[in-house]
Amino acid sequence: MVGAAYGVRRRTPLAGTDLEPENGWILFFFVDPAHRRGGLGRRLLTDALQWLRGHGRTRVCFAAYAPHYVLPGLDRAAYPEAARLLASLGFRTRYEAVAMHRGLVGYRVPAAVRQHEETLVARGFRFGTPSDDELADLLRLATGEFTPDWARAVRQCLAGGAPLDRVALARAPDGRAAGFALHGAYDGMVERFGPFGVRGALRGAGLGKVLLHRTTCTSRADCSTGYSIPSAWIPSPFFRIPVRRCRPSSWCRHGRPSAPGSSFSPRD
């Protein structure tokens, strides 16, 4: 084998019955260094795109969450030729991702964060562990503001026996769920942080900072010595996820993606 491109289409719904018939994914491609610069990479990507288009896909994401991914994006510094090839095929960068880690040995919540939480509470915000009755609102927030996969992660975490105090919930003065954060949602890995998010209309108020530190405290209490922030959810200049849109006969126009990742579309 000297090269490959892996294209996939959804056969199992991520949420409900939605098979996302317009979406396809190319999770990775590669060419052996000894066989590069001969057009093999272009041929592999073109064949993958044609295969997806033949299955009715109108938007294609490269190195995005399908769910699950091989790589969380393209490292342009390490693979500049791949970046140029994708750009020449009409892909464009839509999102960035980075893998991060934070040690918890000796961790303490900064005084400034505690003071900011007190300020937010004085304004009517509430922080704490969700009750059973509040879980439906939390899942609506995760699905409506972010992605159904985040709601699924919360459900699977709790259905697997994780304690409710693994979830930090913020409520707005009007009583609605304003943001959430948790750890251990994926495969029971208590050292893995996320998912994590704040309602769009309330971002910039520092809710996320308070939620992150609250979750860090519970992660440390679960005897975790490390703390990982997964790739693809944290903005960063290090990894870029290219996207492309196209018409049936020509690749010419960029469009608005519907979820984290990148896309092409042979219709407009």
Can you give the residue range of the structural domain that contains 56?
3-97+236-244
Q: Quick check: is 252 in a domain?
A: no
What domain count does the chain have? 2
Residues 76 and 150 reside in one and the same domain: no
pLDDT tens digits, one per residue of 187-227: 778 888 888 999 999 999 999 999 999 998 888 887 666 76
Residues 68 and 116 reside in one and the same domain: no
pLDDT tens digits, one per residue of 129-185: 999 999 999 999 998 898 788 888 898 888 888 899 899 999 999 999 999 999 888
Task: Give the C-alpha separation, 87 to 203, whole Å.
Answer: 32
Q: Please tell me the predicted confidence (pLDDT) of residue 232.
A: 36
Q: Quick check: is 163 in a domain?
A: yes
197 touches 234 (CB < 8 A): no
155 touches 14 (CB < 8 A): no
CATH number at residue 153: 3.40.630.30
Q: Please tell me the predicted confidence (pLDDT) of residue 248.
A: 23
Task: Give the C-alpha separation, 171 to 238, whole Å.
Answer: 33
76 touches 240 (CB < 8 A): yes
pLDDT tens digits, one per residue of 14-68: 777 888 899 999 999 999 999 999 999 999 999 999 999 999 998 998 887 766 7
Q: Quick count: other Cβ atoms within 10 Å of Cβ 70?
A: 9
Residues 176 and 57 reside in one and the same domain: no
